Structure 1
């Protein structure tokens, strides 16, 4: 398992980017080593900090294998960083990663926190009919990470899994939990390191 591309972006105006009107979703490969801070990668900007500025969303990773699957589905090329990911991986099962799982990449330590939930900006960026529904149904959301130890990383770095908490749930199960799977959500909430975001999601899902 390794990182094949480290991607960053700067915010630019976009009519389809909702009320904010700006987005940094179009990430491009950064050269050399990139510093990892508590709020994300050096040189990476987030326009919508209200929805994407939490430390539990400091770094987003997406698998090259899933990009390739989408390329076949959409009939178009998808460069590394095309889904707004900071880390494009190879050989890593991100959908099977566990909430609370820790990776060492370069000198940084990252912890899996949540799946990516598609938003209006992602829909506008992709320009594909029914994109939010298609992305959700595909069940290949990628994973967000919080930064446990700051450091630096770069393309070619190996991914070392330091810990996989046995009592947790996978990114795929957490994605289902967000979309209404109450059993998966209860199992996620039973994991002590689940993060405050999931308590708020539970208020919505478990009421239905």
Structure 2
């Protein structure tokens, strides 16, 4: 496991197809150490706090390995942090990481809380209307860390696994149940059984379970 880039950026207003759009998806790699609080990395911010940020989504993570796929598909090289991620990481893809796994990044301790749900701003960032759906279909979503212990990190920081979640629900499995195997009651229950699952995903899956059990 290796952090290949730490990326931050404050919300900005851009023009997209004749309309103004305020978004925090544009992130820039940093070379210095930054303080990580319970809600974000120093110098970072989100435009719509109703769906982004907060304690369950303090740090957005995206696997570096996926970039080659998207670049081949789109036919051009993507900028660093195209997916709006705070951490670009090698060696920790969705099928390899479990919701609830905890990691140390130097003095900072983080925990996987949920898969990342791409929104329309990614599609606009890439100028590709189908981007959001394609990310969901491939499962190349990335995921979020909540921060259990604050501290400082730098691009030279090491990422170390501290503990694996006993429920064994990977980010990839949660994505499968969320987007593809929607009527799998046992699958929904299994995802809900992860204590570390974010509040918003718990609410969503409880609602689905209630509908399935009618």
Kept after mapping to 2: 8 A contact 1:176/1:184: no
Q: Secondary structure at the match of 1:13?
A: strand
Change (3 A) 1:31 1:181: farther
Change (3 A) 1:133 1:152: same
Counterpart CA distance in 2 for 1:57 and 1:20 is 25
Q: Give a deviation string over 1:4-36, Cα, whole Å, max 9, x none.
A: 11000121113559x993111011101211111
Counterpart CA distance in 1 for 2:194 and 2:188 is 10
1:195 aligns with 2:198: yes
Kept after mapping to 1: 8 A contact 2:105/2:159: yes
Q: Secondary structure at the match of 2:161?
A: strand
Task: Report the RMSD for the aligned CA atoms in angstroms.
Answer: 2.0
TM superposition score normalised by structure 2: 0.89
**More displaced stretch, 164-173 vs 191-200:** 191-200
Kept after mapping to 1: 8 A contact 2:192/2:202: yes
Instruction: Flag structure 1 segments of 5+ consecutive residues without an equivalent.
Output: none
TM superposition score normalised by structure 1: 0.91
**More displaced stretch, 8-17 vs 102-111:** 8-17
Which of structure 1's runs of 4+ aligned residues deviate more than 4 A? none
Counterpart CA distance in 1 for 2:25 and 2:205 is 28
Counterpart CA distance in 1 for 2:133 and 2:202 is 24
Report the number of matched residues.
Answer: 207
**More displaced stretch, 163-172 vs 188-197:** 188-197
Kept after mapping to 2: 8 A contact 1:33/1:154: yes
Kept after mapping to 1: 8 A contact 2:192/2:206: no
